[in-house]
Amino acid sequence: MSPDELVKDALGTVADQARMPAGMAHAAWRQRTRMRIRTATTAAAALVAAVTVGVLTVPSLIGQDAPQVADSVLRDVPGVSADPGRPIPLTRVAAGRATLSAYASCVSGDCSWSVIAPASGTYTATPWGWVDVAPGGRTAAVLEKALPARRIGLLDTADGTVRRWIDLDGAAAGSVVWSPDGRRLLVTAYDKVPGLDADPGAEPDAREVRTGFYIVDTGSGTATFHRLPGGPDAAGLRADLSWSRDGSLIWEDTGAAQQPRSYYDLTGQPRTGPAQESFSDQPAGLSPDGRWLAEGGKSGSSPFVVDVVSGDTTLLRPSGDHHIMRSLAWADDTHLIAWAKDRETGGKSRYRLVLVSVAGKQAVTPLTGWTDVLDRPNWIPAFTAEP
């Protein structure tokens, strides 16, 4: 089969699977950033400590001569809350269905989590070592500061009180993520947990490896462990696991060119992932309606989106000082929340969160202010979808 036929066949598979049954295209969705730093990551991936390196996948090989470029002004976007005057927000940041529900700010390798208070719409510092907010924003799963943790707290975000603890069989929890339906937790287990803001050039501790994962039923409090060690090169790397869009599978970032994500069932057995999800090397992945796939830029170019039916590409390259780095989350069917940077100086830049449209020509809406000049962002955003 020729390269053109391979691409055509792959895109046909994506298009077929994008025609989801009624209700599936608008199923509960959430995507948070992940950290997986390798010594050989690209410069763009190393800028975001919470996500894995992005490499070319099948839709990236389309190679159109003149892709559409998003370059005009984005105006009057509904449902946007921003804090554009601060490099790390203090007041609510949201767009469409996605809310910045928590974030970790890191100084000299020490990361502290802040969580939004629903009533005031402000972010409050917490003592936790990991935070993930459930769909709807009322409850957060938290881990104590010293990781790996031996229990999971279910925190009421309204008053900051832990209403319940779920014990694990030993100190193992390094990260925890809510399922799309908000009923289960996926806990990635480690022998020793790599730092959230680790130095990619540091010598790893041989104990910093993933051992497996727990599936936790929050109703009964039952936590079931499944062995799933990290790969042979995983020492010193975060290899946190994530839910698929419908919660039937879990996946991990691989950093591989042809298979950016590896999928498993809920017992840890390898499975074929959904084509429209499997191709993406960006945290945002597939749009809620299944039409657009967020993809990575090549050779330092801007990220783009692919129309999974037609194969048309749209570069996320607005005019002005904003250069889109990484597609983090879908606000709705046609708007992405992304990391942007301005012009680099000596390998460093300033960074901010922005909202960008993929339909037509547009610029960006700033959601946060510019950071100082850094080699990568110094805070890690976590998004939750509104019900």
Let me know: does 320 contact 37? Beta carbons within 8 Å. no
Q: What is the DSSP string of 220-246?
A: T--EEEEE----TT-TTS----EE-TT
The structure tokens listed for 253 are 């970032």
Task: Quote the pLDDT of residue 316.
Answer: 86
Smallest Cα–Cα separation from 276: which of 330, 211, 229?
Answer: 330
Across 13-27, 194-208, 210-224, least confident range: 13-27
Determine what percent of the chain is predicted with pLDDT higher than 70.
Answer: 74
pLDDT at 41 over 70: no
Mean pLDDT (the chain) is: 78
pLDDT in tens, 42-66: 223 332 333 322 222 223 322 333 3
CB atoms within 10 A of CB 112: 16
DSSP letters of 49-62?
A: TTSBPP---GGGGG
Task: Mention every residue, 6+ apart, whose C-beta is less than 8 A from residue 375.
Answer: 46, 47, 347, 348
Give percent above pLDDT 90 in the chain.
Answer: 51
Q: Domain-by-domain residue ranges, the chain?
A: 3-385
Residue 302 and residue 340 in contact, taking contact as beta carbons nearer than 8 Å: no
Going by pLDDT thresholds of 50, 70 and 90, the confidence category of residue 123 is very high
CA distance 68 to 80: 25
pTM of the shown model? 0.79
pLDDT digits (tens, 9 = 90+) for 319-331: 677 888 899 999 9
Name the 3-class secondary structure at 37. Answer: coil
Give the Cα separation of 193 and 239 in Å (integer).
10
**Whole-number pLDDT of residue 185:** 98
Whether 342 shows a pLDDT value over 80: the answer reads yes
Cβ neighbors of 310 (< 8 A, separation 6 or more) are none
Model pLDDT, residue 77: 56
Mean pLDDT of 314-340: 87
CB atoms closer than 10 angstroms to residue 231: 14
Distance from CA of residue 387 to its chain's centroid?
A: 18
Residue 276 is predicted with a pLDDT of: 80
> Which pLDDT does position 13 carry in this prediction?
35
Distance CA 28, CA 91 (A): 25
**pLDDT band (50, 70, 90) for residue 302:** confident
Query: pLDDT tens across 141-181, in order?
Result: 999 999 999 999 999 999 999 999 999 988 899 999 999 99
Beta bridge partners of 167: 151
Average pLDDT of the segment spanning 108-114 = 87
Domain 3-385 annotated CATH 3.40.1000: no
